[in-house]
């Protein structure tokens, strides 16, 4: 299962093995103990965090405990692994077993989740479609 640590006012740290699909849908297997994905929308080396979140007032107010349902599910890998797709102009769409935990130890688990990476969602770390309203 892919594990993601949600850092308050900072990035998402991915732990484990997953298939990453970039915006051109080219895939590669990634295996990391701690890989930081940007979710503030200001990184200079997308999709990864470059600490740009420290250059402004990035306030996440994470809501892992909220009701969250994914629309437009993506197929999960048949081998039971987890795929992470960087949607062009949109969120990270994760399909397959995944768990998220924040610094309060609130846990969310599921098989489909879209994670905000523009910084504008009002229900972080989840995507609420706010990327469609910003540049």
Of 2, 38, 98, 118, the residue at the interface with ligand FES (CB under 6 A) is: 38
**Whole-angstrom distance, CA of residue 1 vs CA of residue 97:** 5
> Which residue blocks in 42-100 are alpha helix, DSSP H?
none
Strands (E), 1-135: 2-6, 12-21, 27-37, 83-86, 92-102, 107-115
Distance between CA 45 and CA 114 in Å, rounded?
20
Least distance between ligand FES and beta carbon 107 (Å): 21
Q: Which of 16, 35, 47, 53 binds ligand FES (CB under 6 A)?
A: 53
The minimum distance between CB 115 and ligand FES, in angstroms, equals: 12
Is 49 an interacting residue with respect to ligand FES (CB under 6 A)? yes
If binding is defined by CB under 6 A, does position 22 make contact with ligand FES?
Answer: no
Q: Site size for ligand FES, by CB under 6 A?
A: 12
42 binds ligand FES (CB under 6 A): yes
Residue 52 φ then ψ, to 5°: -60, -25
Binding residues for ligand FES, per CB under 6 A?
Answer: 10-11, 38-40, 42-43, 49-53
């Amino acid at each position: 299962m892919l594990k993601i640590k949600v850092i308050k006012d900072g990035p998402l740290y991915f732990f484990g093995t997953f298939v990453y699909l970039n915006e051109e849908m080219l895939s590669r297997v990634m295996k990391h103990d701690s890989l930081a994905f940007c979710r503030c929308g200001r990184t200079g080396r997308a999709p990864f965090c470059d600490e740009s979140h420290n250059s402004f007032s990035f306030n996440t107010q994470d809501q892992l405990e909220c009701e969250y349902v994914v629309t437009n599910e993506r197929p999960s890998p048949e081998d039971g692994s987890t795929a992470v797709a960087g949607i062009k102009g949109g969120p990270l769409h994760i399909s397959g077993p995944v768990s998220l935990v924040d610094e309060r130890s609130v846990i969310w688990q599921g098989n489909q989740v879209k994670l905000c990476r523009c910084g504008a969602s009002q229900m972080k770390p989840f995507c609420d479609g706010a990327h469609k309203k910003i540049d």
